[in-house]
Structure 1
Amino acid sequence: MNVLVVGGSGFIGQHLCRELDGRGHDVAALARSPGDADLPAGVEMVRGDVTDYDSIEGAFEERDAVVNLVSLSPLFRPDGGDEMHERVHLGGTDNCVRAAEEHGVERFVQMSALGADSGAPTHFLRSKGRAEEVVRNSELDWVILRPSVVFGEGDEFVGFTKRLKGMFAPGLPVYPLPGGGDQTRFQPIWIGDFAPMIAEALEDDDHVGEVYEIGGPETLTLREVTEQVYESEGRSIRVVPLPMGLAKAGLTVMGTVGLPLGPDQYRSLNIDNTTADNDVDAFGVDQGELRRLWDYLTTT
């Protein structure tokens, strides 16, 4: 199968390209700066920007399948402001779907997010929901994946907990977390478990027309994730609650002074990032066999 991975130079993209290459597929990685990626020699590098249709259209020619992984981070306010979510997620997806239809692509896998909905409370989730509508209304054989946070080599999730401390309490022996870190729950999934599921979504016709919510084997609060990250390095921290009202004000102020946080990040603290029903079994995976965050942190 000839597969185009849109966003192939990113964290998930690089792992997926290696997975697909290992399965014997012809793989091309499309990205704004594909040369920055650490990919197998057999993976084709293609330069393009999903917000510019003319720059990507030719890359879809003679492809059997496309995976659209392009995504801004929900953890930080994007350069250019929150409207960039619409431009990249909705506009970028629309361009990819249009190019895929123009060139007769058979399979289209869309990377979305848990909670994606056109009426969601954050710009990130609203734009992801609208992008899903574009995919659903297309003529393509589509599959939509909605993962919780994905961790592994090259991720931003683990490092985010340390960066958050540097913003809220630089140099202090305590770690103030909004609501004590108990407001938000995650269901982290290891990239080594997730990448094969994406590949299966491409290869198995039974997945066409399905939307899958994907999570790891456990539910962890932001406090628990933070404690595990520090404890895995032999350091203990003392988490203290930061009132949600102060957190809202603080994140809003950070956005106005140039730090990459804002009201959207506050709103996301009030949204659980967990599955209603974990769909990993649709890919022949036993949830209990998935890798836990603590195991990853203490063995890498």
Structure 2
Amino acid sequence: MEVLVVGGSGFIGTHLCDELQSRGHSVTAMSRSPGSENLPDGVETAVGDVTDYESLTEAFDGKDVVVNLVALSPLFEPKGGNKMHDIVHWQGTENVVKAAEANDVSRLVQMSALGADTEGDTAYIRSKGHAEHAVESSGLDWVIFRPSVVFGDGGEFVSFTKRLKGMFAPGVPLYPLPGNGKTRFQPIWVGDLVPMLADAVEDDDHVGKTYTIGGPEKLDLRQITEMVYDAEGKSISIVPLPMALAGVGLSVLGAVPGFPMGKDQYRSLKFDNTTDDNDVGAFGVEVDSMKTLRTYLSERP
């Protein structure tokens, strides 16, 4: 099949392009400024910006399936403020749907997020909910994925824990974590996720379904932070930072140019990013066979 991966030069995109090509598909990676250095040989590139409909149409022509992976980070406030979530996720997805329909693309695989909800607590979650609605309302054969946080080579989740220390306690041996690091995640390895995405590209049985996807463990931020530093042979002293105090700090620091977090990201740390309804079994995956974060960290050079 001819597959276009929108956001194909990003973290998940490069892994997915590799997986799709290994299965014999003709793959094109689209982004605003695609580079081939991180893509496997033979993957084509195309320039396109989901916020600009006219920039998309040429690359969509002749494609059988489009995978939309374009996303801003939920962990850090985007340049331009949280309004960018609506522009990139919601309006961007509407443009992807429009371009797919105009070019007779048969299937759209949409990357959403765990907890996506038009009435959600953060701009990120609300925009992902509106994006899902745009996909579901289309005339396309669609598949939606709602993963928890994704880790792996090239990802930002592991480094996020270190950036938190740099934000709240630079230059000191203590590590204050908002809410004592009780926010829970269900991190999934990119190497476990991308074969499921590729299956959704190929298999008609997944059409019209929304899959909630998580990793094999539910870990709180404190456990994750300790794992990251332990894997590097470092010890840290974690101290609790009450959520109210963290919120005040982020409200003040969020107004400082260049500071990566704001009120919306603080709110995201107040609720868990986990699921009790893990749909990995729909892809023939057993939870016990999935890679844990600790295993991944122990294997890194």
TM-score, normalising length: structure 1:
0.99
Q: Distance in 2 between matches of 1:275 and 1:33?
A: 35
Aligned-pair CA distance for 1:37: 4.9
- 1:92-107 aligned within 5 A: 92-107=92-107
Instruction: State the AA in 2 paired with 1:117.
Output: D
Q: Distance in 2 between matches of 1:51 and 1:227?
A: 39
Q: Secondary structure at the match of 1:87?
A: helix
Instruction: State the AA in 2 paired with 1:61.
Output: D
Asked if 1:247 is matched to 2:250, the reply is: no
Q: Distance in 2 between matches of 1:201 and 1:279?
A: 13
Q: Which residue of 1 aligns with 2:28?
A: 28
Q: Which residue of 2 aligns with 1:13?
A: 13
Q: Secondary structure at the match of 1:35?
A: coil
- 1:142-157 aligned within 5 A: 142-157=142-157
Q: Which residue of 2 aligns with 1:163?
A: 163
Aligned-pair CA distance for 1:36: 6.0
Instruction: State the AA in 1 paired with 2:275.
Output: T
Instruction: State the AA in 1 paired with 2:76.
Output: F
- 1:1-300 aligned within 5 A: 1-35=1-35, 37-182=37-182, 184-258=183-257, 259-300=259-300
Q: 1:282/1:121 Cα in 2 relative to 1: closer, same or farther (>3 Å)?
A: same
Q: Secondary structure at the match of 1:124?
A: helix
C-alpha contact (below 8 Å) 2:36/2:45 kept by paired residues: no
CA deviation vs aligned residue, 1:72-116 (integer Å, no higher than 9, x gap): 000000000110000000011000000000011111000000010
Q: Distance in 2 between matches of 1:257 and 1:150?
A: 28
Matched residues, percent identical?
64
C-alpha contact (below 8 Å) 1:148/1:274 kept by paired residues: yes
5+ unaligned residues in a row in structure 1: which ranges?
none
Q: Distance in 2 between matches of 1:222 and 1:149?
A: 12
Instruction: State the AA in 2 paired with 1:206.
Output: D
C-alpha contact (below 8 Å) 1:15/1:195 kept by paired residues: yes
Instruction: State the AA in 2 paired with 1:185.
Output: R
Q: Distance in 2 between matches of 1:103 and 1:190?
A: 33
Aligned-pair CA distance for 1:257: 0.6
Q: Distance in 2 between matches of 1:224 and 1:164?
A: 14
Q: Distance in 2 between matches of 1:94 and 1:251?
A: 32
Q: 1:119/1:245 Cα in 2 relative to 1: closer, same or farther (>3 Å)?
A: same
Aligned-pair CA distance for 1:276: 2.8
Q: Distance in 1 between matches of 2:36 and 2:106?
A: 29
Q: Secondary structure at the match of 1:97?
A: helix
Q: Distance in 1 between matches of 2:253 and 2:107?
A: 42
Aligned-residue CA RMSD (Å): 0.7
C-alpha contact (below 8 Å) 2:143/2:209 kept by paired residues: yes
Aligned-pair CA distance for 1:155: 0.3
C-alpha contact (below 8 Å) 1:146/1:212 kept by paired residues: yes
TM-score, normalising length: structure 2:
0.98
Q: Distance in 1 between matches of 2:151 and 2:297?
A: 10
Pick which of 254-263 and 63-72 moved more.
254-263
Q: Secondary structure at the match of 2:35?
A: helix
Q: Distance in 1 between matches of 2:154 and 2:267?
A: 26
Instruction: State the AA in 1 paired with 2:229.
Output: Y
C-alpha contact (below 8 Å) 1:10/1:37 kept by paired residues: no
C-alpha contact (below 8 Å) 2:109/2:201 kept by paired residues: yes
Runs of 4+ in 1 over 4 A off after TM superposition: none
Q: Distance in 2 between matches of 1:48 and 1:104?
A: 18
Q: Distance in 1 between matches of 2:37 and 2:133?
A: 30
